[in-house]
């Protein structure tokens, strides 16, 4: 069995679904079910005996340790995190609590469990920590992409909290010998993505006839990684990664946010054209004031994981974004379900009250 934290969130639920789609090893799925955790993501596993869901908080070390002792997993895969930069600007305390204190509690519970294992089980055990490229800060237009040796320079409460969690994981390997692995990924996209993030927000707003908000000039560059490719990379690192090492996972797809939105509108114009006159969704583009401290460019050098472990992404941006739009068009009930009153209030707070960009 493997123990997955945050397995009802975007990346976590995709990982659980992909894992059980490829093997029969059971999953203990541990999730707090905050606004971004959605059991509907896991509906396909409702009657699957290989999937055991437990609601709980990684900050509750006693509950985590009790579950580890009861189910005796061979690995802990740590996806649970507060992950939205804009929310970290409005409410940084939640990010400190979950991403730093929660990771600490999880590490302590895991260390206690691991120390009780016999020698063979100890040697086989793994703790895999899923992190972000945002810990590295921002890049200039001509800077080399982030590598595993790039110095940390986080610029938001979110990225700072994830950087702290990365350092904690590293320290538990070097101090206690806990067999850890860390992955730092670029921007994920794909099914089950909560519509506070750029791609699902644009799709939802376009179909609803709402403005498509573009921060600043829209030239912020990100490396885009299809979520199933990310899941495959994590499985590979779990299987063959060197203990104590970090592996950067990217899609080799650098694109400006504005170009991503234009690509989405082009696909929507084809798959779900507006009624009446041939009007493009591009007409809904709206430029809004940039968020504070917005990093200009992220880029991942994913050469190490390809050289050492043979992983590289299967999807191009064109193929992955087309699959993503198709999924959202086919799953409008899921979108409507997650767009609760609380989510609507968040959108109003973050977007509607911004002054339009000059």
Report pLDDT for 89.
87
Contact between 108 and 176 (Cβ < 8 Å): no
Q: Is residue 256 part of a domain?
A: no
Q: Is residue 156 part of a domain?
A: yes
133 is catalytic: yes
Judged against a pLDDT cut of 60, whether residue 345 lies above it is answered with: no
Judged against a pLDDT cut of 80, whether residue 354 lies above it is answered with: no
The sign of the dihedral angle between the CA atoms of 125, 28, 92, 213 is positive
Question: How far separated are the first and last CA of the chain, in Å rounded?
Answer: 54
Q: Is residue 104 part of a domain?
A: yes
Q: How far, in Å, CA of 158 to CA of 85, rounded? A: 6
What's the mean pLDDT in 256-283? 93
Distinct helix (H) and strand (E) counts, the chain = 14, 12
Exposure on the CB side of residue 128, measured as CA atoms within 13 A: 30
Q: Is residue 205 part of a domain?
A: no
Determine the distance from the C-alpha atom of residue 5 to the mean position of all C-alpha atoms in its chain, rounded to a whole number. 12
245 is catalytic: no
Judged against a pLDDT cut of 80, whether residue 348 lies above it is answered with: no
Report pLDDT for 342.
54
Q: Is residue 174 part of a domain?
A: yes
Q: Max alpha carbon distance in the chain (Å)?
A: 70
Q: Is residue 40 part of a domain?
A: yes
What's the mean pLDDT in 282-296? 88
Judged against a pLDDT cut of 80, whether residue 340 lies above it is answered with: no
Q: What is the DSSP secondary-structure string of 68-122?
A: HHHH--SEEEE------HHHHHH-HHHHIIIIIIIHHHHHHHHHHHHHTS-HHHH
**Which one from 158, 192, 281, 328 is the annotated catalytic residue?**
158
Q: How far, in Å, CA of 105 to CA of 240, rounded? A: 26
Instruction: Identify which of 252, 198, 245, 244 has the alpha carbon closest to the alpha carbon of residue 225.
Output: 252
- Which residue range forms the structural domain that includes residue 66? 2-189+226-251+298-314
Q: How far, in Å, CA of 205 to CA of 212, rounded? A: 6
Query: In sequence order, which residues have a C-beta less than 8 Å from that of residue 120 and are 6 or more positions away?
Result: none
Taking only the tens place, the pLDDT of each residue in 52-70 is 999 999 999 999 999 999 9
DSSP state for residue 152 in the 8-state scheme: P
Q: Is residue 81 part of a domain?
A: yes
Across the chain, what does the average pLDDT equal?
Answer: 92
Query: In sequence order, which residues have a C-beta less than 8 Å from that of residue 353 and are 6 or more positions away?
Result: none
Judged against a pLDDT cut of 60, whether residue 356 lies above it is answered with: no
Please give the C-alpha separations between residue 121 and each of 73, 170, 358, in angstroms, as whole numbers: 10, 21, 60
**Which one from 86, 134, 166, 295 is the annotated catalytic residue?**
134
Contact between 20 and 50 (Cβ < 8 Å): yes
Q: The CATH number of the domain where 163 resides is what?
A: 3.40.50.720
Taking only the tens place, the pLDDT of each residue in 222-268 is 999 999 999 999 999 999 999 999 999 999 999 999 999 999 999 99
What's the mean pLDDT in 328-357? 65
Taking only the tens place, the pLDDT of each residue in 62-116 is 999 999 999 999 999 999 998 777 788 888 999 999 999 999 999 999 999 999 9
Burial class (CB in 10 A: 0-12, 13-18, 19+), 315: buried
What's the mean pLDDT in 199-223? 94
Q: How far, in Å, CA of 137 to CA of 182, rounded? A: 18
**Which one from 31, 57, 82, 133 is the annotated catalytic residue?**
133
Exposure on the CB side of residue 241, measured as CA atoms within 13 A: 27
Report pLDDT for 299.
96
Give residue for tokens 């509906």: 43
| Range with lowest mean pLDDT among 125-129, 181-185, 274-278 | 274-278
94 is catalytic: no
Q: Is residue 16 part of a domain?
A: yes
Query: How many domains does the chain contain in total?
Result: 1
């Amino acid at each position: 069995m493997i123990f997955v934290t945050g397995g009802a969130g975007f990346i976590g639920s995709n990982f659980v679904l992909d894992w059980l789609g490829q093997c029969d090893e059971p999953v203990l799925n541990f999730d707090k079910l905050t606004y971004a955790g959605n059991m509907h993501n896991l509906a396909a596993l409702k009657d699957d005996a290989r999937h055991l869901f437990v609601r709980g908080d990684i900050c509750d070390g006693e509950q985590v340790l009790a579950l580890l002792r009861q189910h005796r997993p061979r690995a802990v895969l740590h996806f649970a995190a507060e992950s939205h930069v804009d929310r970290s600007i409005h409410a940084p305390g939640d990010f400190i609590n979950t991403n730093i204190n929660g990771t600490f509690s999880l590490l302590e519970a895991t260390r206690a469990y691991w120390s009780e294992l016999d020698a063979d089980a100890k040697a086989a055990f793994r703790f895999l920590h899923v992190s972000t490229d945002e810990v590295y800060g921002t890049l200039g237009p001509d800077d080399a992409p982030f590598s595993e040796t790039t110095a940390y320079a986080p610029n938001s409460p979110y990225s700072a909290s994830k950087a702290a969690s990365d350092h904690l994981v590293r320290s538990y390997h070097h101090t206690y010998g806990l067999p850890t692995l860390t992955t730092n990924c670029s921007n994920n996209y794909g099914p089950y993505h909560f519509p506070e993030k750029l791609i699902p927000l644009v799709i939802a707003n376009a179909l609803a006839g709402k403005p498509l908000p573009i921060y600043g000039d829209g030239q912020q560059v990100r490396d885009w990684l299809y979520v199933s490719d990310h899941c495959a990379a994590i499985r590979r690192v779990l299987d063959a990664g060197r203990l104590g090492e970090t592996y950067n996972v990217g899609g080799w797809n650098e694109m400006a946010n504005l170009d991503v939105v234009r690509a989405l509108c082009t696909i929507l114009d084809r798959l779900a054209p507006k009624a009446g006159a041939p009007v493009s969704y591009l007409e809904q583009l709206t430029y809004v004031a940039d968020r504070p401290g917005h990093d200009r460019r992220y880029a991942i050098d994913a050469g190490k994981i390809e050289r050492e472990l043979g992983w590289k992404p299967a999807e191009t941006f064109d193929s992955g974004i087309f699959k993503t739009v198709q999924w959202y068009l086919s799953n409008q009930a899921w979108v409507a379900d997650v767009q609760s009153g609380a989510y609507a209030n968040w959108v109003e707070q973050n977007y509607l009250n911004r002054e339009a960009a000059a």
